[in-house]
């Protein structure tokens, strides 16, 4: 781990979806060909994308803050190995941005396919009574070219080719990705609703009487169950009356 990764303040609570720095899933670094040429070509591609993706009357998708954070990331990158692990504090120092600005820029870069990262932890070596066994360390940042817009990847290759540099992206692979709290909650609610609907459908299919159906539809609600049964019996009585009408009787006045 480089000095950039060690300058992060120790977090006593580990972030969700973090992997140990020695875990196979955290090994995302690949050598980046043509170092400085790659840096210049990527920033030029960023500028082009931010211009032609802008809609009239709207702001740029990413903007200059994202460009500055992207440049700072590449300044911290060892192109020979692809290692890029600056802490948020390091990026704040390089860009002179507030933490919230850096975090938002990273998110926008990820959303538009210009960056990816993995959260990581490291063992502290402390005994259970001395402190937490692991601590949060800086993210492992990398360029996932499979997520980059196809037009941007094409332009990146063209720019490097003009300088006599042939660029071959590393093999595509899938990476774990965490979800934000709101997305996790929304997904949990959707999954719970879908599970409840499936459970209710199965229970209704197994019900052998109107009483059992009412118990499935209105669990622990005796009044609603009674009303449901009354409606069923009323509908049945109406149907029977329409199919088997009573004979006409003449009413004689006394």
Q: pLDDT for 194-239, tens place per residue? A: 777 888 888 888 888 888 888 888 888 888 888 888 887 765 544 4
The chain-wide mean pLDDT, for the chain, equals 79
- Residue spans of the domains in the chain: they are 3-178, 187-241
Q: pLDDT for 108-134, tens place per residue? A: 999 888 888 888 888 887 777 777 778
Average pLDDT for residues 12-41, to the nearest whole number? 83
Note the pLDDT of residue 169.
79
C-alpha torsion 225→231→234→240, nearest 10:
-100
- pTM score: 0.62
State the Cα angle at 142 between 52 and 51, rounded to 5°.
Answer: 10
Average pLDDT for residues 176-182, to the nearest whole number? 56
Q: Which of 10-14, 51-55, 177-181 has the lowest mean pLDDT?
A: 177-181
DSSP 26-68: G------TTHHHHHHHHHHHHHHHHHHTPPTTS--SS-HHHHH
Distance CA 10, CA 103 (A): 18
pLDDT band at 243 (very low <50, low <70, confident <90, very high): very low
């Amino acid at each position: 781990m480089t000095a950039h990764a060690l300058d992060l303040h120790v977090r006593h609570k580990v972030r969700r979806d973090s992997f140990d720095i020695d875990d196979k899933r955290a090994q995302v670094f690949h050598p980046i060909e043509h170092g400085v040429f790659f840096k210049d070509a990527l920033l030029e591609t960023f500028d082009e994308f931010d211009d032609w993706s802008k809609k009239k009357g709207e702001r740029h998708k990413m903007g200059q803050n994202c460009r500055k954070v992207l440049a700072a990331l590449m300044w911290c990158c060892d192109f020979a190995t692809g290692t890029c692990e600056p802490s948020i504090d390091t990026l704040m120092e390089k860009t002179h941005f507030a933490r919230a600005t850096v975090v938002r820029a990273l998110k926008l870069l990820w959303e538009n396919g210009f960056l990816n990262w993995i959260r990581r932890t490291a063992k502290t070596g402390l005994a259970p009574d001395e402190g937490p066994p692991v601590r949060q360390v800086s993210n492992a940042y990398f360029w996932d070219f499979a997520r980059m817009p196809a037009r941007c990847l094409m332009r990146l290759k063209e720019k490097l080719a003009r300088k006599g540099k042939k660029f071959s992206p590393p093999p595509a692979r899938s990476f774990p990705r965490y979800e934000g709290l709101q997305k996790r909650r929304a997904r949990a609610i959707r999954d719970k609703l879908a599970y409840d609907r499936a459970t209710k459908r199965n229970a209704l299919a197994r019900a052998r009487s109107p009483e059992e159906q009412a118990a499935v539809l209105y669990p622990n609600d005796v009044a609603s169950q009674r009303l449901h049964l009354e409606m069923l019996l009323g509908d049945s009585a109406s149907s029977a009356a329409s199919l088997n009408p009573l004979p006409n009787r003449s009413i004689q006045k006394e």
